[in-house]
Amino acid sequence: MIHSAPRSEDIFFKAYQNHDSSYEGIFFMAVKTTGIFCRPGCTAKMPKRENVEFFSTPDEALAKGYRPCKRCQPLDSMGTPPAWVSRALQLLKSQPQRISDARLLAHNIDPTRLRRWFKKHFGMTFQAYQRQLKLTRAYDQIKQGHHVIDSAMDSGFNSLSAFNEAFTKTIGIEPSKSKQQTILPVSRLLTPLGPMIAVASDTGLCLLEFTDRKAIHKQLERVQQQHRARLVLGEHELFKTLQQQLDEYFNQHRRTFELPLNLKGTEFQLMAWATLQSIPYGEFRNYQQEAKMMGKPEAIRAVATANAANPLAIIVPCHRVIAKTGKLAGYAGGIWRKRYLLELESRAART
């Protein structure tokens, strides 16, 4: 039996008062007087305590006749870009040349507002973001045998020297030496529990983790060192498949993931991660049980350490391991996410 902390409505209401987004995925609050339901972090006007009720899922609120809030959009995945950002991303896909501020304004997109959004969510401006994507595509072209000058033109550079300088700064090596440098594309994916960051190689998925995980930068550095590669924002066919399968998983239409994995770790870590993947969907084990499954019953602490180093959240289901007492114990993505994942799988397994 899983023991969880009390989840009284008073705690939920206080979380809503504080716009506490750490409760995302745990509850949705509906306002009886307006007929609208919201996320925990919504900034809409605060209702009176007697006028609200709480639900575990959006479906429950919809079934009671409530409408989703237009401000916090509780039906969308956490981190879904607003419409004006989506328009900018669509422009980026359709236009090979650099998108200027004037072009953004022509599409009713405020360049300053867009710059701030990208700085917050990607740690760089929109112009830097599109430059990285274009240079990553140029790297792929050159590695496939295209001429450097052709790739420069395709990337929107009119000056070969400017292209060489930008390429070297981003990729870490001169364009002519592309075959000597490995880069791994990085992408941001959306889930109901918040955005995740993914890293892929030609042989499989290397990393999948929530962007707000503590020490996420150390994980990225570890992947970079293990693969002797440079991480750069980019595109990969695997990202499309991964997003589709994550959507299916959260909609309870998928129980196992069918993805090539590129896991790197010690022999013990790889054994622990393989054992995690053998725990059936909708079930859980404690650390002692996992250690016995590995044939190392005394290595309980080492098992917990290996689980904490798991580079593929959800895919390698370390959330299915709990303490012997029944408590959820530690989870790098946050205990509230661990509870959500276990309850999601438990509900689906019963149907």
Q: Which of 163-167, 174-178, 305-309 has the highest mean pLDDT?
A: 305-309
Give me the pLDDT at residue 96, please: 62
Co-location of 191 and 146 in the same domain? no
Check whether residue 272 and residue 344 sit in a common domain: yes
Per-residue pLDDT, averaged over 104-115, amounts to 90
Look at residue 226 and tell me whether its pLDDT is greater than 70.
yes
* CATH number of the domain to which 338 belongs: 1.10.10.10
Q: What share of the chain is helix, strand, coil (3-state, %, to 5)?
A: 45, 15, 40
* Helix residue spans in 228-334 (DSSP H): 237-250, 267-277, 287-293, 300-308
* 197 assigned to some structural domain: yes
Average pLDDT of the chain, as a whole number: 87
Domain of residue 123: give its range.
83-177
Nearest of 55, 31, 27, 53 to residue 41 by alpha carbon: 27
* Residues 297 and 236 reside in one and the same domain: no
State the total domains in the chain.
4
Q: Is 318 a catalytic residue?
A: yes
- In sequence order, the β-bridge partners of residue 78 are 191
Is residue 18 a part of any domain in this protein?
Answer: yes
Residue 306 within a domain:
yes
Tens-place pLDDT, residues 190-216: 888 888 999 999 999 999 999 888 788
Tens digit of each residue's pLDDT (9 = 90 or more) over 56-100: 778 788 888 898 898 888 877 766 777 888 888 888 877 767 788
Q: The domain that contains 62 carries what CATH number?
A: 3.40.10.10
pLDDT grade for 53, boundaries at 50, 70 and 90: very high
* Digit-coded pLDDT (tens) for 133-152: 888 888 888 877 888 888 87
pLDDT cut 70: percent of the chain above it: 95
Q: What mean pLDDT comes out for the span 239-252?
A: 94
Q: Is the pLDDT of residue 350 over 60?
A: yes
Q: Is residue 257 part of a domain?
A: no
Asked if residue 336 and residue 303 are part of one domain, the reply reads yes
Nearest to 349 by CA among 257, 258, 272, 249: 249
Written as one letter, the residue type at 273 is W
Whether residue 77 is contained in a domain is answered as: no
Residue 268 has pLDDT above 50, yes or no: yes
Same domain, 222 and 275: no
Domain assignment present for 1: no
Residue 117 lies in a domain: yes
Per-residue pLDDT of 169-181, as tens digits, reads: 887 778 887 777 7
| 239 part of a folded domain | yes
Residue that terminates a domain, selected from 29, 45, 68: 68
Instruction: Spot the catalytic one: 42, 72, 206, 318.
Output: 318
